[in-house]
Amino acid sequence: MSLDQKLLSILVCPVCKGELKYDKSTAELVCTLDGLAYPIEDDIPVMLSDKARKLDSQEREKYR
């Protein structure tokens, strides 16, 4: 799957409105400010905070 760059440029974290980073290996959009990873299911980003996964400290460092 390849996330459209135009879509990625307009998507923001629903919690803090911060920038998201696309992680192709995990199919997630990652907010480093909140430490949340939003899943991408069937090529559709699931931008719901209750569906997001919390990053552990090691993962947060990886995305900095």
Domains of the chain, start order? 5-62 (2.20.25.10)
User: Tokens 């209750």 label which residue?
Assistant: 50
Confidence grade of residue 18 (pLDDT, cut at 50, 70, 90): very high
Instruction: State the pLDDT at residue 4.
Output: 82
Give pTM, 2 decimals.
Answer: 0.89
Determine the Cα–Cα distance for residues 58 and 43; give it in Å rounded to an integer: 27
Instruction: State the pLDDT at residue 8.
Output: 87
Helices (H), the chain: 5-10, 57-62
